[in-house]
Amino acid sequence: MSTTAPTITVVLATYNGERFIEEQLQSLLDQTRQPDEVIVSDDASDDATIEIVDKYLVQFKCLTVFLKNNTPKGFRKNFADAAAQATSDFIAFCDQDDVWEPEKLAICSAHLDDTDVFMVVHQSTLIDADGLQIGIFHQGIESTQKIGPFSRDLWSVYAGFSTVVRSSFFKCLPFEQFPRDYIAPQHRLAHDRWTHAMAQICGCTVEIAAPLVRYRQHGANVYGAGTAKAPALKSRSALAAKNAAYIEYVDDLTDILKNLSNSSLLQSPLCDRDRSNGILCQAAKEVRNRQDIYKSFRIYAPLLVVRNLLNGTYQDVVTGNFRKSSFLRDVSSVVSP
């Protein structure tokens, strides 16, 4: 345990957020455990967002920083660049259209003096544009618990607004060197996917089974809570292009860990670099096994699906769970025109 209480920076990225941002900023002011620093980074808004932020920042009793981008960076770089300027031990990411419960930082901070903990994450309440509750966003969190490295699906992610993470994740590597995002490979990895990957490698995550943010669904979210969908039918060439992004991501992350071998992040007692490399190597093998299906002559593709089913390609490399959607997607690619 540390001898001094860890500090927290709230990093809030804004862009044309005038509709909801006042409620969010007021919820930050209403925190029972106030942040030690607030960084707002505006991505060249052309509405009243900047004026609203200016009005609220003077009310905080902590260090405040207001970054104003002359040209838009996009939410990924906007968040990452702002996070890199945080002076606290931990970062609490904040979206402009949500509302924080008053006890959010107090509840999360109770776990931060544990030096094994690299990330804290919680459930959220889903609300509509008018603030009415429409559900709970569980994120697979069923109980409050501390879980060790690589305890969750390698390809999963906790929504950024629901996480408190070590700021050192954004000190060790500039955004331009992040891996490519396997969901949107034309971009670098988003801040929440980056921290999920690094937290899994470096140490423990605390999951809190309590909704500490009201997560607004208003039709204009960059990403919303969404619902599970059946895998869409795609051509084998389209699947090959999509799968290539997963291959590039695993290769990028493997190289990054090699280059960060002397980083203090990887000196954590819980960071098992041999295990991490083994998991990433196995993940790389599995995505390449699937690529064989999409690149082969169609006559051989069914045999390759069977091969992958028998050799464990469709089992998650961390949890061992069967990836039904991946299997069905590959079967569909074989039988569809």
| Whole-prediction pTM | 0.91
Closest to 278 (Cα-Cα) out of 248, 250, 312: 250
Q: How distant, in Å, are the alpha carbons of 17, 143, 216, 223 from that of 47? A: 8, 41, 20, 21
pLDDT tens, residue order, the chain (337 aa): 446 899 999 999 999 999 999 999 999 999 999 999 999 999 999 999 999 999 999 999 999 999 999 999 999 999 999 999 999 999 999 999 999 999 999 999 999 999 999 999 999 999 999 999 999 999 999 999 999 999 999 899 999 999 999 999 999 999 999 999 999 999 999 999 999 999 999 999 999 999 999 999 976 655 555 544 445 557 888 899 999 999 999 999 999 999 998 888 888 899 998 999 999 999 999 999 999 999 999 899 999 999 999 999 999 999 899 999 999 999 999 887 6
In the chain, the domains with their CATH numbers are 8-216 (3.90.550.10), 236-335 (no CATH)
Alpha-carbon separation of residue 24 from 27, 228, 268 (angstroms) = 5, 28, 35
Region at 139 (left for phi over 0; alpha for psi -120 to 50; beta for the rest): left
